[in-house]
Structure 1
């Protein structure tokens, strides 16, 4: 392990694995210094730490936290990040609103303390400009490399104490606009300027114009696939798994799913099926559960209460095995699915994975293991011990976003969601699927219909920053303008605001009810 201490964008001290000082040319940028050290020590972890935090660096935790080589960890004490909340006007992903209390996925890296393996730096080399501003360089690296499979986290355990009086620096508006131009499509520079004008009454003309002269940074010359991943964490003990499947009116599809499970090289311990039928005198349609022999236990729950959120919560309460597979009743998969997923979980040392979930003939877009920006309620594997304090939000029943909300509950407890491109699960999207019971939601009778859906709004106000919500509002305005009949933009804006406020009202009602 090589530890680099720095102050005022200059390296001040380098400590070797033997806790000895290393003679080093301290005159260049910190970023360039890290790359030189990575070349000299290709098998070491490279740690950086602001001199102010030298006594607070948890050196003894580094090997445990960076449990495989394709990771990058950092931590910025106190609230906020290098880029202030204005970055939310540009990006609505979960990587913006960082929970500083737990290990949390984000590209927003910090110069104050962090660690990366030398093999990553050696593959990146000079493909990313070694900016004098170390915070900018680290965030740029993470932003470019996360889609390539580099797993990046805000990690509070890097410091023994976060109650430190030093005030971390924040990017200027000039730096913010530059970053947006170099890492997003150009239209986001214009949207950032527009949002700052609309919601903060700021006219940042110079920052806006200056950003337009920068070229976009691209990652197509960076390849980190050669880094071998083998986690030192032990996350699987017994390897026993329960499966939960909510179903309604899909007996034939469910039968095929059970047959696929019966052919698994690693059989599930128990499959919990929650069958719903809202008709008051209806009975189960799943006779084959009792009439056929199955190589696993099937626990069948029949309920007249429709809704996938309630069904999944009922099933989660019945799980007893080490792992849980959230499945759906119109999935198809190969016989080695469970075994292959467990091999990937061991490799990456993770507690939550979501598999590739394409429909027939759908183009496969993601082919690397990456930090997933959402969550799949029909194609995810989780360690049961992390499910004790999470559940599907019944306020989102029959709406949209219940799976994303569930994923955010997991992340806010320190459990990232990794996407596995292989093995894949085929999603048939059965024609009798969807909200087959056609529930009448409370706002359906309103003269002014909410936009977006109140369940979507509930997710936004629960998990996103104020700037992310307002940025979403701006994009939604432009997105729907071309699809509605009112051509006068001022008249449409008045109508749109009423719809937005209606959505906010009902989202808050759902929040109160839940």
Structure 2
């Protein structure tokens, strides 16, 4: 490990293995480029001088089981690219935990680390005449989809440090530059309007400093070199499978056959069968008439609701890992073994898999951190977290469950392989339309209260305001000039109705 100590915008000390190295260049970016060339396999740590003595080297080292990693910690919770980026970014990576490491492309210059290979791959970025924190954030934003794992982790500083309050002065010109270099061109205009509407500020000069820039592309990173997983670690890892089902007897049977043939067998398969028809009984006789090489726990209920069904199943789960599966998927016989092997290798606790229809073209081939979550195509560590039943028969329960996992310290990784085939079977069973409390209201809420509830629970305020403006413009496209006064009044009333019901969920 090499530690680069920074005071304001200059390098003041460099340490490697307890020995002080000569400072080849006080410019931070140029110093990192030189160090990366001289020590291409080292972990490069940066720290502001005031936090240097409190670096937790053990916590930093723990992140680098995966070489393609970058981690930082914003001590005062302030980022160079601040929360106003939420006006144009709806991702799940803006609201940070104060206790756990969370995926984040927003990097801090307070303290952090990355592998020298990342500096070598993005050498031109480090040589630009841009603030160090902008450079780090730009690389993280572009490299995340290419397989760079990026984290905000409070644990990389020891808890004995004294927080030094600073008068943090946001540099909005760089916010507009960032918008132009990392998002489609339309979003810099959207950002300008958002400042005008919500902050009552005309940022035209900052806008012009960014509007002429071109969008930056990502560099293809070298494939991550993984260690060979300890066979005993894999063999001792247990997994339960959770499947809610309704009216898909044949498809569920095929799923069970795939599980029966796995080279790493599940310990339990927990099936929650729903049929809302009064006095109905189970149609899954093969659960008891056939022999299965795992324990089957079968719960039958006349109450429909996938969140409730999954929570019933979660109450029975006792294994190390949980495979949350749909009742109409197909998997190869080595699926569980391959999945757990990769998870143990990368030391990750949550994975969502490529889940495509038969013959559907594949778009993503690189394993990477993701803001999505699929509750029918994922494996997670058994953490005791439950689905929020406020989302029952609404929208967004998958994403909300994923956010709960992230906020508890479980990162969600997209695995391109092994793959799941999703048959998209016809909707099974007898289903009745669920009536929400707001369905009979004169003013219908828009957006759905469950969507707004999720954004309030897991997002920052700027993301909610940005979502409101985006919804406004999308609705405005369908409005004629003569309808405009009525539309403006109705839009606000529908938004307020959504807020009202979201607060009561």
TM-score by length of 2: 0.95
Q: Given the alignment, which residue of 221, 224, 227 partners 2:224?
A: 227
Aligned to 1:10: 10
Q: Given the alignment, which residue of 97, 101, 104 partners 1:103?
A: 101
Q: Given the alignment, which residue of 433, 455, 458 partners 1:460?
A: 455
Q: Given the alignment, which residue of 62, 82, 86 partners 2:60?
A: 62
Q: How far apart are residue 467 of structure 1 and its match?
A: 0.7
Aligned to 1:509: 504
- Distance in 2, matches of 1:315 and 1:434, equals 20
Aligned in 2, Cα 1:361/1:171: closer, same or farther, shift over 3 Å? farther
Q: Given the alignment, which residue of 82, 89, 92 partners 1:91?
A: 89
Q: Are residues 1:183 and 2:182 paired?
A: yes
Aligned in 2, Cα 1:206/1:372: closer, same or farther, shift over 3 Å? same
1:251-290 paired onto structure 2 within 5 Å = 251-290=249-288
1:312-346, CA deviations, whole angstroms, 9 ceiling, x for partnerless residues?
11101101112111111111111111011012112
Q: Are residues 1:412 and 2:412 paired?
A: no
- Distance in 1, matches of 2:297 and 2:129, equals 58
Q: Are residues 1:378 and 2:376 paired?
A: yes
Partner of 1:363: helix, strand, or coil?
coil
- Work out whether residues 110 and 135 of structure 1, in 8 Å CA contact, stay in contact via their aligned partners in 2: yes
1:73-84 paired onto structure 2 within 5 Å = 73-84=71-82
- Work out whether residues 129 and 137 of structure 1, in 8 Å CA contact, stay in contact via their aligned partners in 2: no
Q: Given the alignment, which residue of 486, 489, 498 partners 1:494?
A: 489
Aligned in 2, Cα 1:231/1:334: closer, same or farther, shift over 3 Å? closer
Aligned in 2, Cα 1:421/1:114: closer, same or farther, shift over 3 Å? same
Aligned in 2, Cα 1:492/1:163: closer, same or farther, shift over 3 Å? farther
What value does the CA root-mean-square deviation take over the aligned residues? 2.0
- Work out whether residues 242 and 325 of structure 2, in 8 Å CA contact, stay in contact via their aligned partners in 1: yes
Q: How far apart are residue 117 of structure 1 and its match?
A: 1.0
Q: How far apart are residue 82 of structure 1 and its match?
A: 1.8
Partner of 2:463: helix, strand, or coil?
helix
- Distance in 1, matches of 2:422 and 2:186, equals 34
Aligned to 2:172: 173
Aligned to 2:476: 481
- Distance in 1, matches of 2:497 and 2:294, equals 49
Aligned to 1:40: 38
Partner of 1:152: helix, strand, or coil?
strand
Aligned to 1:208: 207
Select between 181-190 and 75-84 the one with higher mean Cα deviation. 75-84
Aligned in 2, Cα 1:434/1:350: closer, same or farther, shift over 3 Å? farther
- Work out whether residues 486 and 492 of structure 1, in 8 Å CA contact, stay in contact via their aligned partners in 2: no
Partner of 2:496: helix, strand, or coil?
helix
Partner of 2:137: helix, strand, or coil?
helix
Aligned in 2, Cα 1:397/1:468: closer, same or farther, shift over 3 Å? same
1:44-83, CA deviations, whole angstroms, 9 ceiling, x for partnerless residues?
1111111111121122432223322110000110223222
- Work out whether residues 325 and 380 of structure 1, in 8 Å CA contact, stay in contact via their aligned partners in 2: yes
Aligned to 1:22: 21
Q: How far apart are residue 359 of structure 1 and its match?
A: 2.2
TM-score by length of 1: 0.93
Gaps of 5+ in 1: none
- Distance in 2, matches of 1:432 and 1:311, equals 16
- Distance in 1, matches of 2:429 and 2:479, equals 26
Partner of 1:442: helix, strand, or coil?
coil
Aligned to 2:388: 393
Aligned in 2, Cα 1:70/1:392: closer, same or farther, shift over 3 Å? same
Aligned to 1:330: 328
Partner of 2:400: helix, strand, or coil?
helix
Select between 56-65 and 73-82 the one with higher mean Cα deviation. 56-65
- Work out whether residues 68 and 230 of structure 1, in 8 Å CA contact, stay in contact via their aligned partners in 2: no
Gaps of 5+ in 2: none
1:405-460, CA deviations, whole angstroms, 9 ceiling, x for partnerless residues?
11111111111101101111112222215993321122111122111111111111
- Work out whether residues 43 and 115 of structure 2, in 8 Å CA contact, stay in contact via their aligned partners in 1: yes
- Work out whether residues 76 and 168 of structure 1, in 8 Å CA contact, stay in contact via their aligned partners in 2: no
